[in-house]
Amino acid sequence: MKLNSTVTLTLLLLVSMVVAGLVSASWGASLGREALKGITQPDTRPTNNKVGGQAGSVRREELAVLPEEDIIANVKARMNGGTVKEVTPSPSASPKATAPTEAAKSQLPMTATSQDVVLEVKSVRKEGESLVLAVSLRNNGKQPVRFVYDALTVTDDQGQPLKASTDGLPAELPAASSAFPGSISIPANLLGGVQKISLSLPDYPDKRLQLQVSNIPVQ
């Protein structure tokens, strides 16, 4: 009989604990819902920003520079009661940001000749952190010519010297040779605001010839 009373008491305690846990959980959930009532998650989707950005770009694309002559003519016509003609953007009013590049392309290649030796600058291009000039050397004479490229001088349009390195150019040009291709590299960070550069290369050791190419466009 004593054992049955102990078992009964234990069961009652377990049941009480389970009921208390359920009541506590229900009460906590109810309090949580009440506290979060009216609070919503912010809309972090990029849809609105994207739409706004597209609208902004559309508005920017709609901006156009109109010819001044047509605008003045329309104003005069409106003041005199005449017919106003439609004004359309003029092709000549488009931005000229590519003009320097086109000018640079039209001026190349550039060559310099001294005592039958020819230095040709074929192209100028940006490659990584350097400005690279594609060049070639050719000897049309009857005697070989030697070069030391430490003697190569590169200057900007203000006459300031620029650091440069060569690649692929031969130390000696044989007589009656074909063109030897190579490159001259200049760190791009040295060319801020520079429009044109010049090259000067003498032979070694006599310096009887001087190859000079001036005003090479680098835009």
Q: What is the residue-level pLDDT of the chain in tens, covering all 219 positions?
A: 445 777 777 888 888 888 888 888 888 887 777 766 656 665 555 544 444 444 444 444 445 566 677 777 777 777 766 565 565 555 444 444 333 445 456 688 999 999 999 999 999 999 999 999 999 999 999 999 999 999 999 999 999 999 999 999 999 999 999 999 999 999 999 998 899 999 999 999 989 999 999 999 987
Indicate whether 121 belongs to any domain: yes
Indicate whether 48 belongs to any domain: no
Same domain, 70 and 149: no
Give Cα 136 distance to the centre of its chain: 29
Same domain, 122 and 82: no
Same domain, 136 and 213: yes
Domain boundary among 75, 94, 113: 94
Say if residues 211 and 200 touch (Cβ distance below 8 Å). yes
The dihedral region occupied by 149, where left means phi > 0, alpha psi between -120 and 50, and beta the remainder, is alpha
DSSP, residue by residue, 120-137:
EEEEEEEETTEEEEEEEE
Cis peptide before 217 (omega within 30 of 0): no
Say if residues 162 and 190 touch (Cβ distance below 8 Å). yes
Structural domain tally of the chain?
Answer: 2
